[in-house]
A and B are shown apart, each in its own frame.
Chain A
Amino acid sequence: MVVRYRGFGPVTGPGWFLAMLWVGLCFLLVSPSAAASKPRPWRLGVLFWHASPNDEAALEGIRAGLSEQEQPHELIVRQADSDRSKAARILSDFREQNVDLVFALGTEAALLARQHVRDIPVVFTAVTHPVESGVVPSWEGSENNLCGNSNWIGPDTVLRVFRLAVPGLSRLGILRSTESGVVSAAELVAMKDYLRSKDSPSIDLSEEIVSGVESIQPAVKRLIDAKVQAIWIPIDFFVYQNIDEVLRAVRPHHLPLVSSSQKGARKGAVAGIMTNYPMLGKRALLIARGVLSDGKRPQDFPVGTMRGYQVVVNLGAARRCGYEIPLSLLVLADQILEDTRDGKAEDGN
């Protein structure tokens, strides 16, 4: 801790000597007790379900926050490699290592921590929809040792970006798979609820659900026949993995893909929206600090969300499908991705 004194004038002569003497006595008197009350370093376990840029960005935010507040700490970072038993072993190790708190990064990690950790506070982050995924019963918080925040971005914000990407949008197609899981389902439910509200723009949704690679092209064709102006790719790993098949189907029609995730934009959507993951990590650290330093209980914290968001524009993807992204979106983009020589998208950084 650094204490700075401001607003004093210059000190000279005997005053200087007395002042130095006073300081020295105080140091001698105070320093042993100060050393005795210094808090022990936080021992923090960090669980990754798998390697994820967003989760890693959130971890970077946690690290930055720890550094900024000069909190002594020990971070034990472990990755489960998408293996539930390994994740369980990691969590068991955390308990044996007497960690003070566990950071669960991502939805799967949060669910596993909820299952295997009962006696240690768990702060989750980068969980898109903790309520729909079952991490917590409600956005007001849990009734146990879990708390944290979400990277959820509301449908009004998502739709605002989509309308910037596709001016005059009135018919939006949705392509998702049967394996999309609760996250994309939650996205769709929230979007439909929002479009039913009075203040929402008038936009029709056409949904196609695919169950295999071979069903992608017919599904896209049906959406094109329905005269959609853009296709929304929700958070769906199956569609991400087969995004090239989707792109082959839409390119001849110059139909843009839009996504509600950074990954979707990186894979081939012309625009995506994401939260500020480092800031999300810092805000997760804020919750951890409340638990560890302020003595608050985890169930006292509601699930936190972010106000800000970042827009990712994939200029290369737009060029490949012959779609021109409006300048009004381009100038607002936080990230503009262009094609590299190997055809992969890279950001402007």
Chain B
Amino acid sequence: METDPESRDSKGFRFPLGLKLSLALLGAGVLTLVFLFAYFGPSTTESFLSRSERLISLSSQKMRQLVRTSTAESSQLLIDVIHHLTDERRRSLQDLPLPLYQGDEERIRKAIVETDDDRGRRLSSNVEILAREMENRSLREVDRRLEQLADEQTEMGKTFAADLKKTYLVVAAGVFLTLVGFLGFGLYQAVVIPVRRLRKVTQAVTRGDLQVVVPASSQDEVGELSHDFASMVMQLRDSREAVRSKNLELKELNRNLSTEVARKTEHLSQALQDLRGAQKQLLHAEKMASVGKLAGGVAHEFNNLIGGIRGCAEDAMETAKDEESRETLSVILRAARRATGITDQLLRFSKQRALRLQAVDVTKVLDEAWELIAADARKRGIVLSREMGQESPVPLDPDALHQVFLNLLTNALQAMPSGGELEVKSVVEGGELRLEIKDSGIGIPDDQIDRIFEPFFTTKDREVDPDLRGTGLGLSVCYSLVEAHGGSIEVTSEVGVGSVFTISIPIRSDGSGA
């Protein structure tokens, strides 16, 4: 960034722009006025003199015309009067009663003279009136002519005034236009050109080019503006450098901060997710524990009572004679055995029974469980496919595993009343056994999937199919048995597609289960 040193360093006489323009306009105005008056002045004076001469000539013509007209009229009047008097005298003489005078010439002459005198008296008596009237009319005529002359003079004066006005307008317009021209030229030179240069510099600065050179200008307001602008550009350049440096530091800080925040946020999110999972599992575990404790207590008491009922019923069966009683007792025994089964499941759920861990062939246990329901599966058109990944036995409670398989496979069959595919996968990975039972059944609605491991909760429609009637304890027992092994059981399901139950059981390092 540079400026003209001559401009920046000049501290001489300051010549303001207004003073420059004023002097230029004054000079232009004076020159224009001198030129226009020199051009129009003589013609205006000549026009005035010409009009005055014309006015005098016109007045003279009017007066001459008036005199000629008056003379002609007077002459005509005289002729008319003479003719009239002659004619009237002739007629008067004809009217004279001459016979009255009996040829007396004297009397006739006297009568004629009297007639003439009478006429003379009448006419002379009119002269005064006539003279007054003629005077009045002449004066009126003169007044009328003078008025005409005055009107023409006024009209001529108006015309001259209008011409003069036009001249003034032309002069004024010339002066004005010249002044405007000078003003425009002065403004162009003094303002527009420097401003254009300054604008180019401004555009360069706007584009970010702070190395541009601000051109030197005159010692006036525009020059001062250029100088100030140059100073401003220099300050901008310094400021931009400072800002650029600070900006780099800030960007670095920002980048570090963003990384840290992302990392913390991820940690927090993971921790929150873990916490939520733990909280959920804890709640579910507490809930299951409470339910299991309650169910265990109730099942223990009911199991004792049912044992009593069952013993009594078996004794009565042995002693019963009639068929009807035996039939009744048979019903009681079946109910008691079913009740025993229920209480047994409840006891399993409540983990009232201790696990008997041993090396278990998972595939064999699966086959045993499948045999129990294979007939039903064939009847329903369900095909079992399995992919067993473990090679060595796993330390588990075989009864518990059998019960888990049986419950899950039974549920899968019931979920596929019109047939489908059933897949069972097993794999040992990451120090745990993972089992996956997948069906293509009706699926579990989302509003029910969180409750399916609760005891006595069932999704089976009891009204529709009483055979499918469940106790709501199957999955609860599964959950309880898997948890007893230190594992977990999860389910994902989609209505109309099917469900997948995944069981994870940790394998102890010593080769035993949980």
- Interfacial residues, chain A to chain B (CB-CB below 8 A): 65, 68-69, 276, 279, 282-283, 285-286, 289-290, 306-310, 315, 324, 327-328, 330-336, 338, 347-349
Are A336 and B97 closer than 8 Å at their CB atoms? no
Are B129 and A65 closer than 8 Å at their CB atoms? no
Whether, in the assembled complex, B159 has its beta carbon less than 8 Å from a beta carbon of chain A, the answer is no
Interface secondary structure of B, over-half rule: helix
Are A276 and B97 closer than 8 Å at their CB atoms? no
Residues of B within 8 A of A308 (CB): 88, 91-92, 94-95
Are B84 and A279 closer than 8 Å at their CB atoms? no
Tell me the bound Cα distance from A334 to B118 in angstroms. 10
Q: How far is the CB of B102 from chain A (nearest CB, A)?
A: 7
Residues of B within 8 A of A276 (CB): 92, 95
Known interface pairs A315-B129, A336-B126, A338-B129; 5 further A-B residue pairs with C-beta atoms within 8 A, sorted by A's residue number: A282-B97, A285-B100, A331-B130, A347-B125, A348-B125
In the complex formed, the residue of B with least CB distance to A306 is B95
In the complex formed, the residue of A with least CB distance to B102 is A69
In the complex formed, the residue of A with least CB distance to B74 is A327
Contact of B91 among A69, A307, A335, A347 (CB under 8 A): A307
Give B110-133 interface residues, CB cut-off 8 Å to A: 111, 119, 121-123, 125-126, 128-130, 133
Residues of A within 8 A of B76 (CB): 328
In the complex formed, the residue of B with least CB distance to A70 is B107
Are B126 and A324 closer than 8 Å at their CB atoms? no
Q: How far is the CB of B487 from chain A (nearest CB, A)?
A: 137
Q: How far is the CB of B241 from chain A (nearest CB, A)?
A: 104
In the complex formed, the residue of A with least CB distance to B110 is A68
Tell me the bound Cα distance from A307 to B119 in angstroms. 15
Report the count of interface residues on B (CB-CB < 8 A): 31
Residues of B within 8 A of A69 (CB): 100-102
Interface secondary structure of A, over-half rule: mixed
Residues of A within 8 A of B123 (CB): 334
Whether, in the assembled complex, B46 has its beta carbon less than 8 Å from a beta carbon of chain A, the answer is no
Contact of A68 among B88, B111, B121 (CB under 8 A): B111
Contact of B80 among A279, A289, A290, A332 (CB under 8 A): A332
Tell me the bound Cα distance from A282 to B114 in angstroms. 14
Are A65 and B97 closer than 8 Å at their CB atoms? yes
Q: How far is the CB of B399 from chain A (nearest CB, A)?
A: 147
Are B126 and A348 closer than 8 Å at their CB atoms? yes
Residue interface mask B70-81, A partner, CB < 8 A = 1: 000100110011
Whether, in the assembled complex, B99 has its beta carbon less than 8 Å from a beta carbon of chain A, the answer is yes
Tell me the bound Cα distance from A65 to B94 in angstroms. 16
Whether, in the assembled complex, B96 has its beta carbon less than 8 Å from a beta carbon of chain A, the answer is yes
In the complex formed, the residue of A with least CB distance to B85 is A332
Tell me the bound Cα distance from A307 to B90 in angstroms. 9
Whether, in the assembled complex, B134 has its beta carbon less than 8 Å from a beta carbon of chain A, the answer is yes
Q: How far is the CB of B75 from chain A (nearest CB, A)?
A: 12
Residues of A within 8 A of B73 (CB): 327
Are B95 and A286 closer than 8 Å at their CB atoms? no
Tell me the bound Cα distance from A348 to B126 in angstroms. 6
Whether, in the assembled complex, B338 has its beta carbon less than 8 Å from a beta carbon of chain A, the answer is no
Are A315 and B125 closer than 8 Å at their CB atoms? no
Tell me the bound Cα distance from A327 to B95 in angstroms. 27
In the complex formed, the residue of A with least CB distance to B111 is A68
Are A283 and B95 closer than 8 Å at their CB atoms? yes
Are A289 and B122 closer than 8 Å at their CB atoms? no
Chain B CB within 10 Å, residue with most, of A65, A290, A348 = A348
In the complex formed, the residue of B with least CB distance to A347 is B125
Contact of A333 among B100, B111, B119, B126 (CB under 8 A): B126
Q: How far is the CB of A345 from chain B (nearest CB, A)?
A: 12
Residue interface mask B130-141, A partner, CB < 8 A = 1: 100110010000
A68-B101, A69-B102, A349-B125 known; A331-B77 Cβ under 8 A = yes
Are A279 and B100 closer than 8 Å at their CB atoms? no
